[in-house]
Each structure stands twice: as C-alpha cells, then as structure tokens.
Amino acid sequence: MKSKKHRSNESKIAYVILCGAGVIALVFCFILLFTGRVRTFDLTGGSNEYYIGEELFEMSGEPLMIDDVSYVPAKDILAQCGYEIDWDSEKYAMTVSDQYDKSYIYPDRDVVTRKGENVSCNNAAFMLDKIIYVPVEMISLFTEDRIEIAGEVKKIIRPVRDLMADTYINDDYRSTESPVKCNGVYMIGEDKAMEMLAYPDDNCTEYAAVINRLATAFPEAQVYDIAIPSMAEFYGPKPVYTDQTSGIRKIYENLGPAVMPVNAVKELWAHAGEKLYFNTDHHWTQRGAYYAYKAFLATKGEQAPPLESFETNNIDDFMGSWANTVKGTSGEAQLKAHPELMERFMPKVEYTGDIFLDQAMTNRSGDSKVINLSDKTYGTFICGDQPLTRYTTNVKNGKKAVLLKESFGNAFATWLVNDYEEVYVIDPRYWNGGYGRDDAFTLRALYDEIGGFDDIIVVSYPVSAAADMRKAIGALIGDQNN
C-alpha cells in the first residue's frame, strides 16, 4: 500500500508531465500557426510584377541589383505585410506603421528606426524616381515573409546625392596666355575667346531657393539641378579666374533633400583634355553636354551609351558668336582665321519634334529637329531657343521629362531625347512677360494637360543663376518670392 506522501509525489509528477505536454502542444500549435502565416513574395526580375501565392500584384518599380545586393520598392512589399506607409517630411523618411509602432526608413542611410531604436543594416536604402528602394535585409526587420527574386534583375549604379564636397580642379589645362579684352570678351592667344563669369554668393543661395520651391510645388516629380561651369573655369588664365566650382558647390549645399543635384563638374573635369567648349562661341560643345548627361544618368543609377556609339555629322569650319561680339577689334581677324570643328552626334531614337508658341500646344510654329543639319550655327541643336518644344520618341517606356533651360540646355536636350518617351523643353525666358511676350505659362497647367511628368531637369550656368532667370523659373511655378 502506497503512503499518502508517495501518492502526493506521483500526482505532482503527473501534473508536471501534463503541463509540459501542454506547453509542447502550444509551442507546436504556434509553430504551425506561424509557419502558416509566412508567405513567399515571388518577384519577377526584369519587371514590376510579383506574386503572393497565386495572386498577382504590381509594384511601383522593378527589383534592382547593385553590387550583388537585391533591392525592392519598400512601400509595395510592406503594405502587403499589413503596414501603413506614409512620408515624414521633417525627418525626410518613409514611415512604416502598425497598431503598435511607427518605424522610419531613411533614404541614403543604412539605419532604420524600429521600435524606438536605430537598427544598422549592411546596405543603405535610396530614392530613385521618387521610389524608396531598400535592400531585402531591411524587409526582414518587419516580417518573416520570404522574398524570392526570379528572372534577370536590372543592374544599376548606386544613385548618389553628390554635393561636390570632394570636387576640386587644378591648373592643368589653364591657359598661360595674357588675356586681351575686346568688347567685353577676353581673347586668349590667337584662336579663342571666352567670358569671365562667376557665381556670386547671393545668386547661389537665391537660385537654390527657387529650385527648392520648384521641388515643393511638384512632389509628384523628381527635380534634378545641373549647374555647369563656363569655359573659363577650366581654361581661363589665372589672373581672371573666378572659381565657379565653389559657387556650384554652394548652390548644391543649399538645395533641400527633395532636389537631386548632378555633379557635372567632376565628369567634365575628367575629360578636360577633350573639346568641351567652343573657342569661337560662348556655348559648350555637344561633347561637353554629353558628359553632363552622363553624370545625370549616373545620378539616376543608369549608364550612358558610349559616346563613340553615336553616329556623327560634323561641321569642319564652324564660326561662333564671339566673331560678331569682337567685331571691329583685333580679335575679329584672329577668330576668323581659326574656324573650328563642330561635332554633331545624332540621336539613337526615332522621334517627332514640335515647336509651340502657347501653353495649350495648339499654336504650332513648325517641326523641331534634334540636330538640324541645315543649320551651321549653335542653333543646329534642337533648332535653337524656342518657347516650348515637344519631342515624342519611340522609347516607349512611359517616362516624361521637362527640361528648363536657357541656350546651354539646347545641346543637353539632344542627349535627353534618347531616354524618355516624351521630352518637353521649356525656355522660361519666353513666358510670362519675358522677351516682350505676354503668354502665360505654368508648369502645373502643363502637368495637368499631359497627364503628369516624371522628371524636371534644370540646366544652368552662371548667367542662369542671376535674377532674371530666377524670376522666370519662379513664374513657371507661380512663385511670388522673386
């Protein structure tokens, strides 16, 4: 006969076994439940389609590969995981919220604020075409769901918001000739003329402020600013050198995070031994504009086709605008004795070009050739300055760009048409009272008219940062501050 104490011990053992079995059962049920909740996101590389099980979804952008790291659009995946996605303009961060917590994903940072703490990742998120891309490892901070990418994933260069902190030029290509002033232009040696321009501090900060307001007015589009130097920055004699690079750096340092600056100076300087500017004209060459275009695409995480892959149709005896400017001086004969080569690179795409004189694009004044072969002046590029030019190409990627420019932007536009289905080239000087024309023009009206656009690109050189151009750009956005 068992004692009362022995029976009590047996009861305790049975109770412990029963409780243990219950815990194991609960854990097992939890594992089954948890496993059942884990889903697999099947992303189709090379497109913006993905599946969860059998259900097809469409992302805002396709998966990307950078240095063997996979990136996905954060908002699409995390929204399907039950999170609410928003944007915090003060923190400049995407918010990822559920009923318990609000997390933050920051463009260009490898840190995520999760449950009140900063969590470091191996790779940084970034913004491309207004889409926040994150490495797959960041997604794992929010969900146990699996990301599987199939197909040929597009490989790109990491977009960088380059503020030119490490961009400097030296005197390697600077002329040692004594400058001779002729009608306000400096003759350098026997065969070239150039103007000495600068970026005054006030112009830099006020110009940056206008571009910031442009980005605020169009949160739907990505604004790019491309500030370029004139010929004197690389080649002008030391006695009249004005350090335009420092001015461009100041502009970029004053741009808000919504504007993507393009460091064209670094790319131009890397090719300063080539013909980037004309000797007889105040503009850059199409070759020079190509290197700014190459820097622009790199900022977008893309690569430009090699320059030698473009067909050419050159002019051997080009004579530019300076010949008239220095007329009646010793410089006139010097320049006319040295005509120069004008390279003309033809577009790779098929297109139609239309020049319009009105906002509604009903008053059409003629065709626009990307390279007008019959014109032997700088006007060969997009038929010169026009109020509004529209190019429709066979690129068929659904992308639309707006280029705000003065004449330096004409050569840049010849490259831009290769990358968009529609390109709208606008010269702000021709609108809202400019050049004696009273025609009204607002970018918002254009946006509504054409069903939106993806990118706004502003190309400027020192003269463009001055008050008249700032006012003209401001008028396009209804700016009351200029």
Q: Which residue has the tokens 């009140």?
A: 116
Beta strands 422-426; 388-393: pairing state: antiparallel
Confidence of residue 167 (pLDDT cuts 50, 70, 90): very high
- Average pLDDT taken over every residue of the chain: 90
HEC per residue, the chain? CCCHHHHHHHHHHHHHHHHHHHHHHHHHHHHHHHHHHCCEEEEEECCCEEEECCEEEECCCCCEEECCEEEEEHHHHHHHCCCEEEEECCCCEEEEECCCCEEEECCCCCEEEECCEEEECCCCCEEECCEEEEEHHHHCCCCCCEEEEEECCEECCCCCCCCCCCCCCCCCCCCCCCCEEECCEEEECCCEEECCCCCCHHHHHHHHHHHHHHHHHCCCCEEEEEECCCCHHHHCCHHHCCCHHHHHHHHHHCCCCCEEECCHHHHHHHCCCCCCECCCCCCECHHHHHHHHHHHHHHCCCCCCCHHHCCECCEEEECCCHHHHCCCCHHHHHHHCCCEEECCECCCCCEEEEEECCCCCCCEEEECCCECCCCCCHHHECCCCCCEEEEEECCCCCCEEEEECCCHHHHHHHHHCCCCCEEEEECHHHCCCHHHCCCCCCHHHHHHHHCCCCEEEEEECHHHHCHHHHHHHHHHCCCCCC
Closest by alpha carbon to 236, among 183, 182, 189, 270?
Answer: 189
Q: Is the pLDDT of residue 27 over 60?
A: no
Q: What is the pLDDT of residues 63-85, one digit of tens each?
A: 999 989 999 999 999 999 999 99
pLDDT number for residue 172: 97
> Which part of the chain is CATH 3.30.457.10?
40-155
Q: CA dist 214 to 170, 242, 405, 430, Å?
A: 34, 28, 14, 18
Contact 270, 250 (CB under 8 A): no
Mean pLDDT of 202-220: 95
pLDDT number for residue 159: 81
Q: What is the pLDDT of residues 368-409, one digit of tens each?
A: 999 999 999 999 999 999 999 999 999 999 999 999 999 999
81 or 31, higher pLDDT: 81
pLDDT number for residue 304: 96
Can you tell me the distance from the alpha carbon of 415 to that of 76, in angstroms, rounded to the nearest whole number? 33
Mean pLDDT of 175-191: 94
Q: Is the pLDDT of residue 23 over 70?
A: no
Q: What is the pLDDT of residues 272-317, one digit of tens each?
A: 999 999 999 999 999 999 999 999 999 998 999 999 999 999 999 9
Which residues share a beta bridge with 332? Answer: none
pLDDT number for residue 113: 95
Closest by alpha carbon to 221, among 54, 458, 466?
Answer: 458
Entry pTM: 0.86
pLDDT number for residue 15: 46
- What is the four-CA torsion angle of 264, 269, 274, 275, rounded to 10 degrees? 60
CATH code for the domain defined by 40-155: 3.30.457.10
